[in-house]
Structure 1
Amino acid sequence: MIRIPCPHCDARNSTEFRHVGEAAARPDPSTATPERWRAYLYERANPAGWTSETWFHTMGCRRYITVERHTVTNEIRSARPAGGTRAEPAAALSARGDAGSPDAGGQA
């Protein structure tokens, strides 16, 4: 089980969240070509390593968050409100006692 450090509710089990997908900037509707829209909607990099993803906290605050997660180890490096500019580093989360590393089966 992965513990996701929600910036609004503190750390919670991943079962409380819905994975929305890779975080991507939305193109400007007035200038984007159909090819750019297709790329935004359907094409994802799916890298092995660190990536920014959007998650929705369905069983908590019901807000979107952006999580920086390692796709191989599921380690979480940072979490912030979606659309925000500042990520909270894992060191700060660890200091609070709610780091986002894979959970060994504790409670939320």
Structure 2
Amino acid sequence: MKIMHCPLNGPRNISEFVHGGEVREMPDPLTCSDREWADYVFYSDNKAGVVTEWWLHAPSGYWFIAERHTVTDDILKTYDPSEIFNQRVDFSFAEEPAAAPKEATA
């Protein structure tokens, strides 16, 4: 049985975790193109070696970061995201789509 250390819940069976993709720098959503945003959301480097990744402990809903070697599948380190992220991204700037004009009824 493979064990992964959750920073919140301690050592747990690997079946309790869901891979969330690589930790990458997010492009500026106000200035990036649709292609740049799609690349950020849907594609990864998929390199051989040590990769920093998002992981979810599904039973508790806790997201954390793990450093994993993609060739050996060894998990080298796990830690809380607050160790590298110190501010939230505010997406409230997005405007609501304009409502279609209503037709006048007689």
Greater Cα radius of gyration, structure 1 or 2: 2
TM-score over 0.5 for the pair: yes
Question: Can you list the C-alpha shifts for 1:6-28, whole angstroms capped at 9, x where unaligned?
Answer: 11111111101111111222222
Partner of 1:20: 20
- Residue segments in structure 2 that go unaligned for 5+ positions in a row: 86-106
Is residue 71 of structure 2 the alignment partner of residue 72 of structure 1?
yes
Alignment of 1:52-67 (within 5 A): 52-59=52-59, 61-67=60-66
Partner of 1:51: 51
Partner Cα distance (2:41, 2:23) in 1: 11
- So what's the TM-score if we normalise by structure 1? 0.69
Partner Cα distance (2:6, 2:38) in 1: 30
Partner of 1:84: 83
> Identity percentage over the alignment?
34
Higher relative contact order (CA 8 A, sep 6+): 1
- Residue segments in structure 1 that go unaligned for 5+ positions in a row: 87-108
| Contact 1:48–1:70 (CA under 8 A) maintained in structure 2 | yes
| Contact 1:57–1:64 (CA under 8 A) maintained in structure 2 | yes
